[in-house]
Amino acid sequence: MLSSPVNSFLRIKQGQKALELLQQAQQPMDIITDEKAKSAKEEVKKEHNSILKSCESVDFKDLAVVIFNSNYRMSGYMATTIQEMVGDKTVIAINKKDGHGSMRGELALYWEGRLKHLDYVKMGGHPGFYGFQISKPADVFIEDLTELLQ
Total-model pTM: 0.89
Question: In the prediction, which pLDDT does 40 show?
Answer: 97
Sheet (strand 56-59) strand order: 56-59, 63-68, 90-95, 100-104, 129-134, 121-126
- Which domains are assigned to the chain? 3-49 (no CATH), 56-148 (3.10.310.30)
| 9-56 residue pLDDT tens | 999 999 999 999 999 999 999 999 999 999 999 999 999 999 999 999
| 72-106 residue pLDDT tens | 999 999 999 999 999 889 999 999 999 999 999 99
